């Protein structure tokens, strides 16, 4: 497996973890467990931060002229990361709605 594919899989892994934590946070808020919901949102942010770190590494390599060819797995990892970040952002808003209910 080449380096770009390995990085893509790391992005997919951490983005998936982040999205899962954000979805769990919504369920906890729905049940009124706001302390746990907040903890899970923090966890989601940390996991997404790891994925973003791998993405940043790719961007820096590209900017320095060391870019590599793009493959479908890398494109998928970018889609997965951006979707997961959106889920986390929306989860924060949904939790606030439940908190104010």
Annotated binding site for Mg(2+): 79
Question: Active site includes 76?
Answer: yes
- Is the separation of the CB atoms in 44 and 21 below 8 Å? yes
- Is the separation of the CB atoms in 47 and 67 below 8 Å? no
How far is residue 93 CA from its own chain's centroid? 16
Task: Name the residue among 98, 92, 94, 87 with its Cα closest to residue 17.
Answer: 87
Binding-site residues sit at 79
User: Looking at 76, 81, 93, 97, which residue is catalytic?
Assistant: 76
Report DSSP letters for 46-65, one per residue.
Answer: HHHHHHHHHHHHHHHHHHTT
> Annotated catalytic sites, by residue?
76
């Amino acid at each position: 497996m080449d380096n770009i594919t390995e990085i893509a899989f790391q992005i997919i892994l951490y983005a998936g973890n982040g999205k899962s934590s954000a979805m769990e946070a919504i369920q906890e808020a729905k049940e009124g467990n706001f302390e746990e919901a907040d903890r899970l949102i923090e966890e989601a942010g940390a996991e997404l931060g790891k994925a973003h770190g791998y993405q940043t590494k790719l961007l820096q390599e590209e900017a320095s002229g060391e870019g590599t060819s793009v493959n479908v797995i890398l494109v998928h990892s970018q889609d997965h990361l951006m979707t997961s970040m959106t889920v986390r952002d929306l989860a924060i808003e949904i939790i606030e709605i439940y908190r104010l209910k």
